[in-house]
Amino acid sequence: MDKNQMHFPEFGYSDPIETKEKCSNPAFMNCYKHRIGCFDLGEFSDGEKGHRIQKRCVNCGRNFKIYFMTNRTLKKLGYKK
């Protein structure tokens, strides 16, 4: 599956997302499913330090949601950043 992967996420992968748009470089037999990686958009500090994380298809690069996660939450999930 890594053969056709164009982007490599810093925070691992999440569940695939199915959309109405086709993935231009699909990883699944269903070309409407996107393989989602969690990418670091940078740190933020609003009282408690954390990271902005964006979900993006690792094969076609389509952007999805942006999340804010504190360092404490990331540590509980097992991420070292």
Kindly give the confidence (pLDDT) of every residue in the chain, 81 residues in length, as a single tens digit, with 9 standing for 90 and above. Answer: 556 788 888 888 889 999 999 999 888 899 999 999 999 888 887 778 888 899 999 999 999 999 888 888 888 877 765
Residue 13 lies in domain: 2-77
What is the tally of structural domains in the chain?
Answer: 1
Q: What is the DSSP letter of 22?
A: P
Environment class of residue 36 by beta-carbon count within 10 Å: exposed (0-12), middle (13-18) or buried (19+)? buried
**Full-model pTM:** 0.78
Could you give phi then psi for residue 49, rounded to 5 degrees?
-70, 150
Token pair for residue 63? 């952007």
